[in-house]
Chain A
Amino acid sequence: MPISLEHVSFTYMKGTPFEKTALHDVNLQIEKGEFVAVIGHTGSGKSTLVQHLSGLLHPQKGSVCVDGVNLNAKNAAAKKARNSVGMVFQYPEHQIFAETVYEDIAFGPRNKGLTPEGTDRAVKDAMAFAGLDFETFAQRSPFRLSGGQMRRVAIAGVVAMEPDYLILDEPSAGLDPRARDEIFKEIMALYRKRGIAVILVTHNMEEAARYATRLLVVSDGRIILDGVPHEIFTNHKEELLKVSMDVPPVYKLAECLQEHGLNVKSTPELADLERQILKVRRSRHAD
């Protein structure tokens, strides 16, 4: 069962001179098993959008339902529905507070009302997901870890709540390439294993092209493009440039080669493009 937004509008500081409308009549459905990338320039409303998906902001108009339950309601069912959406904020390591890694990851499961045994299992699972060895890290202070490790502890803290929908706001910001690849490897493993929906907010077109099954482009509080990333990056370059977005470098390279008369197809994978180029070269040599 999906997350669904119907006619959602939201305005910050309503009724003051600083009024700013962040969402205009947004309609959206996200099914379990989808990997959705949300892109948009700074201030486009994408953060406001994902905060609605997790029930942290309530729509001023319209409604947000998760598995058929309105998140805005004040009953136990709505609370359970909100807990089924996990949200990893930007720089999540800034929200770490506990004395040990174990305690910090256990915060969510305990709030969910799990038994001590259940919490223990959830923490162990989440640490295994994040590639943190239980024996080594469980009793260490999270503040003495490296930046990449702290980020994993923080993400594990959300994953430990076993959400059906996982929202990640720029999970790779400020990490080195290796830590970035590792975090995405873990997220992809979780996505494939548990069949959850992942909603990834990013500025990085390559991440959107490589991982997502669906791409949402947000501009001025509206979803202006919604489709398969490959299709959007090949056919809607003009629209993307107009809203200060861009296509991934590998698409640019393919386009450049096409302009030079090389018979290659656009692809999100660099390795795939390499194969095509080599093929063209071999066929030319043969001539």
Chain B
Amino acid sequence: MLTDITLGQYYPGSSVIHGLDPRAKILATLLFIAAIFFAESMLSYGVLALFVAAVILLSRLPVLMVLRSVKPLWIIILLTLFIHAFTGEGSNVLYQYGFFRLTEEGLIMGIKMSLRLVFLLLISSILTFTTSPIVLTDGIESLLRPFKCIGVPAHELAMMMTIALRFIPTLIEETDRIIKAQTARGADFDSGSLLQRAKNMLPILIPLFISAFRRADELAIAMEARCYRGGEGRTRMHELVYKTGDFIALAIIVLLIAVLAVMRWGLGL
């Protein structure tokens, strides 16, 4: 059934990672992505892997569930590996078949590039696993606020995201009801040509659009009735406050970047 799906991937918990300020988590994720590009030697990739493993353990999420977040992009990861492996420059030919030439350097490059992608996916899924969408939106709004002077509508963007998230379950429920109502009138959604099937969707889509517009209208009136007039001078119920833990988390990430930089340029590892 449609309403049986769970939305987003927030996995409630009370770990250290769950408790971090969303802004700290977003910043740390961005910094980590930067750190990935500092890694050069296989040893530094090992450091990154250790770090990711530590974060997964700290978040106390089911490890398999986190690893599964790589699944949607596995084709791209494999493609990256093969393209690098077969097109890389290098003299150590491991295997040759006509035009295709597998070199040792290319293979290593391919492995590194795919590892980068895997790390990127893992760390950003940990962000969404440990932060509820609403809190995440609050964090984004707060981080974007300084850019208001150059015209970034931080509050409006965040409000739009919140409303969209809020209405997804409602619209799913509505869709489920409309599908049932039309099924009760003998509608058939799984047979006929592609064009016919697209046409058969109209009895669902039209009522769904009408109801979405009606809901939008009602919501606008309800917001206006409660004197909503944008973000100007608006206070919030849950103020975001940086705590010691957040600074420690950011410090650890900066340290990671420093270690990787030293390994690359200082020690030449």
Contact = CB atoms under 8 A, between A and B. Distances in A.
A95 B171 CA distance: 14
B181 A89 contact: yes
A134 interface: no
Interface in A80-116: 83, 85-87, 89, 92, 94-97, 107-108, 111-112
Nearest to A167: B184
Given A89-B177, A111-B185, A161-B186, 18 more contacts: A12-B1, A12-B4, A16-B6, A51-B180, A56-B183, A56-B184, A83-B186, A86-B184, A87-B184, A89-B184, A92-B181, A95-B178, A95-B182, A95-B203, A95-B207, A107-B203, A111-B188, A158-B184
Of listed B181, B183, B207, B211, residue having the most chain A CB within 10 A: B181
A226 B177 CA distance: 28
Contacts of A94: 174, 177-178, 207, 210-211
7 contacts: A51-B180, A89-B181, A94-B174, A94-B207, A95-B177, A143-B210, A158-B185
Nearest 3 pairs between A and B by C-beta?
A111-B186, A97-B206, A108-B185
A157 interface: yes
Report the contact-size class of chain B (Cβ under 8 Å from the partner): 20 to 34
A54 interface: yes
Interface string B107-151: 000000000000000000000000000000000000000000000
Given A95-B207, A96-B207, A89 B185 contact: no
A1 interface: no
Contacts of B187: 107, 111
A13 interface: yes
A57 B184 CA distance: 11
B194 interface: no
Interface of B: 1, 3-4, 6, 174, 177-178, 180-188, 202-203, 206-207, 210-211
Of listed B6, B177, B184, B202, residue having the most chain A CB within 10 A: B184
Nearest to A109: B186
A16 B6 CA distance: 10
B217 to A, nearest CB: 14
A79 B180 CA distance: 14
A54 B202 CA distance: 23
Contacts, number: 58
Contacts of B1: 12, 57
A128 B170 CA distance: 35
Interface residues of A, number: 26
B186 A112 contact: yes
B132 to A, nearest CB: 16
Contacts of B177: 89, 94-95
B185 A107 contact: yes
B188 to A, nearest CB: 7
Contacts of B4: 12-13, 16
Given A16-B6, A95-B178, A97-B207, A157 B202 contact: no
Contacts of A54: 184
A16 B180 CA distance: 23
Nearest to A83: B186
A54 B180 CA distance: 10
A12 B5 CA distance: 11
B239 to A, nearest CB: 30
